[in-house]
Amino acid sequence: MALLTKAVRGTNDVLPFTGYKTKYIEDMMLSISESFGFSEIRTPVFEHTELFDRSVGETTDVVQKEMYTFNDKGGRSITLKPEGTAGVVRAFLEHGLFNEAMPQKYAYVTPCFRYEKPQAGRLREFHQFGVECFGADNASADAEIISLAYRIFAFFEVEDLRLEINSIGCPECRKKYQDALKEYFKAHTGELCETCLGRLERNPMRILDCKSPVCSSIAKEAPKILDYICDDCRAHFESVKKYLDKMEIEYTVNPSVVRGLDYYTRTVFEFISDSIGAQSAVCAGGRYDGLVEELGGPSTPACGFAIGLERFMLLLEARNISLPEKNPVDLYIASMNEEANLVASKLAFDLRDEGVICLFDIFGRSLKSQMKYANKIGATFTMVLGEDEIAKGKVKVKCMMDGSEEELELESFTDNFTDMEFNKAMEGFSDVFDSDDAYENNEE
């Protein structure tokens, strides 16, 4: 059979045998961020193109080379979001959230789209977990979002990450730095790539972020931003470090961390891994105090970060970090005829209302095939339902782990099964503490 088409290059299907892992990661990240006071927000997958031109920056690779932009049927220029922050800022302004009590804290999981060469950890459709904090200009806010990312990695037992931080100053103190960069890079115009030659006059800091080996080599000897930041920005950066030191979060100051988007100011940071090849930044973020005002709102300090979820999954795999297994089927009801299947459908309906994962035959299989299927899906309990069981009003439920059986009344089956399931689980829990090791540990 010839397929009509396949998935577009640079996109991935999330299949059931891995999808539960993705959902677990997303749920845990949102839950951890909630403990920091962040509430979930969702924004559209596409926006007006000018939002990204203005926020991300016309000189960035994202805007120049990577955005998926098209005209809709009304002739309006629309772009699939290449990152999450701009859409959240737009929603923050459009819905007047700046009038609420500050700070406003939001977390999200969103698909993003960039036209890049597909490779491990870099897809054309990818997903981000991100947080944004509006209204706080204190260095403690910068440190808090860094500590949130740190807490997420600690929860998943990712221990081999390096936190690299830097300050790229404010627009005022960056002017002197831009001039110094122009003077430095003009001496290398014969070596820079065509893209960086275009950046030289408009935004030379973007050259520092170029992926070209030649440009990267030249950039290593360029002036360092920390030699040019003003006293206020320096004091802010020193305060960020004090908060990180107090929380015992290790970091390295790396003047080369500048981030690839134009809206960043002052603090920028990355969590780096050596386990996933060239795409080493697993999390990146920083402060963007001018973006809200740039997009038409009141002057509002802000900071945030994003974690690439596909890259994070690669990291977990590279470090052999396991995630909880998919919830098993609690009960499979094997029916012997149509009448029994009707009863099974009602039992399953009631059990599901109690949170029990229950399946019954919807395929018209033979009893033997049903039992093979129950075994294949790893059902914890099974029961066979036929004429005799219905006539007697009783059914035997079998535990597939130890082969034990228990007879339950059909009339009160839902309550009886949930009680039995709980008792069986507690037996297994007790077995752990009945071991000799447990007693020895208790005596100690």
Question: Are 266 and 354 in a shared domain?
Answer: no
Question: Are 387 and 307 in a shared domain?
Answer: no
SS (H, E, C) the chain: CCCCCCCCCCCCCCCHHHHHHHHHHHHHHHHHHHHCCCEECCCCCEEEHHHHHHHCCCCCHHHHHHCEEEECCCCCEEEECCCCHHHHHHHHHHCCHHHCCCCEEEEEEEEEECCCCCECCECCEEEEEEEEEECCCCHHHHHHHHHHHHHHHHHCCCCCCEEEEEECCCHHHHHHHHHHHHHHHHCCCCCCCHHHHHHHHHCHHHHHHCCCHHHHHHHCCCCCHHHCCCHHHHHHHHHHHHHHHHCCCCCEECCCCCCCCCCCEEEEEEEECCCCCCCCEEEEEEECCCHHHHCCCCCCCEEEEEEEHHHHHHHHHHCCCCCCCCCCCCEEEEECCHHHHHHHHHHHHHHHHCCCCEEECCCCCCHHHHHHHHHHCCCCEEEEECHHHHHHCEEEEEECCCCCEEEEECCCHHHHHHHHHHHHHHHHHHHHHCCHHHHHHHHC
For position 325, what pLDDT does the model report? 86
Q: Decide if 211 is inside a domain.
A: no
Question: Are 306 and 351 in a shared domain?
Answer: no
For position 1, what pLDDT does the model report? 73
Question: Are 92 and 234 in a shared domain?
Answer: yes
Question: Are 370 and 273 in a shared domain?
Answer: no
Q: Give the integer Cα–Cα distance in Å for 125 and 115.
A: 8
CA 218-224-227 angle, to 5 degrees, is: 155
User: By residue range, what is the domain housing residue 361?
Assistant: 331-434
Decide if 422 contacts 434 (C-beta within 8 A): no
Decide if 144 contacts 112 (C-beta within 8 A): no
For position 211, what pLDDT does the model report? 76
Question: Are 100 and 159 in a shared domain?
Answer: yes
What CATH number is given to the structural domain containing 341? 3.40.50.800
What CATH number is given to the structural domain containing 298? 3.30.930.10
The number of distinct structural domains making up the chain is 2
Question: Are 138 and 248 in a shared domain?
Answer: yes
Q: Give the integer Cα–Cα distance in Å for 147 and 145.
A: 5
Sequential pLDDT tens for the chain (444 residues): 788 999 899 888 888 888 889 999 999 999 999 999 999 999 999 999 999 988 876 656 677 678 999 999 999 999 999 999 999 999 999 999 999 999 999 999 999 999 988 777 678 999 999 999 999 999 999 999 999 999 999 999 998 899 999 999 998 888 888 889 889 988 888 888 888 888 888 888 878 877 788 988 898 889 999 999 999 999 999 999 999 999 999 999 998 888 766 788 999 999 998 876 655 889 999 999 999 999 999 999 999 999 999 999 989 988 888 888 888 999 999 999 999 999 999 999 999 999 999 999 999 999 999 999 999 999 999 999 999 999 999 999 999 988 999 999 999 999 989 888 767 766 654 554 454 444 344 344
Question: Are 41 and 101 in a shared domain?
Answer: yes
> Which residue in this structure is represented by tokens 């994962």?
357
In terms of Cβ atoms closer than 10 Å to its own Cβ (0-12, 13-18, 19+), residue 256 is middle
Question: Are 361 and 406 in a shared domain?
Answer: yes
Of 266, 283, 318, the residue at which a domain comes to its end is 318
Question: Are 340 and 235 in a shared domain?
Answer: no
Q: Decide if 206 is inside a domain.
A: no
For position 426, what pLDDT does the model report? 62
For position 435, what pLDDT does the model report? 47
Question: Are 305 and 424 in a shared domain?
Answer: no
Of 269, 289, 318, the residue at which a domain comes to its end is 318
